[in-house]
Amino acid sequence: MANITLSAVIGLVLAKWAVELWLLHLNHRHVLAHAGAVPEAFKGTVDEQTYTKSVQYTLAKGQLDGVETTFDAALLLLILWSGVLPGGYALATRWLGQSVWAMAGVLFIIAAVLTLPGLPFDWYHQFRLEERFGFNTTSQRVWWADRLKGLVLAVALGYPLLALVLKLVNLLGRWWWLWAWATLLAFQLLMSVLAPVLILPLFNKFTPLPEGSLCDRLLRLAERTRFRARSIQVMDGSKRSRHSNAFFTGFGRFRKIVLFDTLLAQLAETELEAVLAHEIGHFKKKHIPKMLLISALGSLAGLFAVSLLASQDWFYHAFGFAPGNIAPALLLFGLLAGAVTFWFSPLVRWWSRRYEYQSDAFAAEVIKEPGPLVTALRKLNEKNLSNLTPHPVYSGFYYSHPTLLERERALLGDFTTSRHS
């Protein structure tokens, strides 16, 4: 049974790797097929020079993704097949012991070590690929400081939480997974309130949107849509990149509307109002709690699966571990979950794109016309060198947002329909 399990897992990892490369190849060919000239649908939206650059950016990212995907799959197979994982685990437990805090420390150390091989890819993406296409604005010092801060936060928050989960296993027996899920859910909700106040300012500077016509326009929009927010703030996104975004964060009295400074530089006031209306649409349509619920159900299913696997000796033997402690089961689940959840990506992306369409329609209705959002989306796609011609199967696996053409067609069609109904 152990050998069958290991073979099945290796087969699943290889299948995921093969499909990922196939999707990249599919998208690469599709983009190249449209690379000769600006597609008819985008003439007047993007000039030929920018379109050519967006094609080059898409192809460059695809090539890097292909190398990284192959590296990640090879590394995971090496870890599973070589015995280095149980060997490292045994060495760490002999050194630190087997108390709850020690076990949490062992898992944390192994997880931290396993993230190190990915750092060169992250560095290359930021300081070579993004730099080449004019997006990178960060420095080596800021980039490394971000990772150090992330590690410190992981130790301060993740380590005690992991120790608590292991303690629940010891205290509650077979039902530990249910209580662990409730604990993780409570922690997630708490962080959604505290993160905007305590964590985000560690990485970025937030300043109130200056008084003026834009501030007045956005506040009137918030009032018109009954969207209560503590403030409208500008984030120094240009500290790291020329990419732009807008979002709201927090709950209740801690809710904040956040605009990237790069977004303010790229869009007109009417377009910024439309973008914010889209974000408010997510709130009014209750997309955030719905997505949290889906995520929570996924976590519940994952923890239940761990509880079942942790009770099977063959699962431990398949990967070289001795049964009796749940820590290896949690470690293996963290490594292998992606090989399973990958196959559900099209469903998750479809759900996400459905919400984007609904928020677009809400924004057009609130603004009373789709024009400002359409022009905003065109500018954002142009400035971010977005892939305007992705292969439908590729976008189905990876795109949480519809393509520009899909959003425009839906916006103009839905608005026309609503006006005539």
User: Which one is catalytic: 130, 279, 356, 382?
Assistant: 279
Q: Looking at the predicted structure, is the pLDDT value of residue 421 above 50?
A: no
Please state, as a whole number, how many other Cβ atoms lie within 10 Å of the Cβ of residue 204.
16
Q: Model-level pTM greater than 0.85?
A: yes
* pLDDT of the residue at 419: 54
Ranges assigned E (strand) in 155-284: 206-208, 231-235, 246-249, 256-260
Residue 399 to residue 357: CA distance in whole angstroms: 13
In this model, does residue 85 exceed pLDDT 70? Answer: yes
Contact, 37 vs 94, CB < 8 A? Answer: no
Q: What integer is the mean pLDDT of 67-78?
A: 96
* 130 has catalytic annotation: no
pLDDT for the residue 192:
83
Please say whether the beta carbons of 382 and 133 come within 8 A: no
* Mean pLDDT of all residues in 187-210: 88
Write out the H or E segment, with its range, that includes residue 405.
helix 404-420
Out of 210-214, 379-383, 411-415, which region has the weakest mean confidence (pLDDT)?
A: 411-415
Which residues partner with 260 through β-bridges?
Answer: 235
Q: Span 227-256, mean pLDDT?
A: 80
Pairing of strands 246-249, 231-235: unpaired
The predicted pLDDT at position 253 comes to: 64
- Structural Rg of the chain based on CA atoms: 24
pLDDT at residue 235 in the model: 92
Average pLDDT over residues 119-145: 95
**Within a 10 A sphere around the Cβ of 168, how many other Cβ atoms?**
20
| Contact of 369 with 274, CB cutoff 8 Å | no
Widest CA span in the chain: 73
pLDDT of residue 415: 53
Residue among 71, 65, 53, 52 at smallest CA distance from 26: 65
Backbone angles phi, psi at 241, to 5 degrees: -155, 160
Q: Is residue 305 over pLDDT 50?
A: yes
The mean predicted confidence, pLDDT, of the chain is: 91
Give pLDDT, residue 53.
Answer: 95
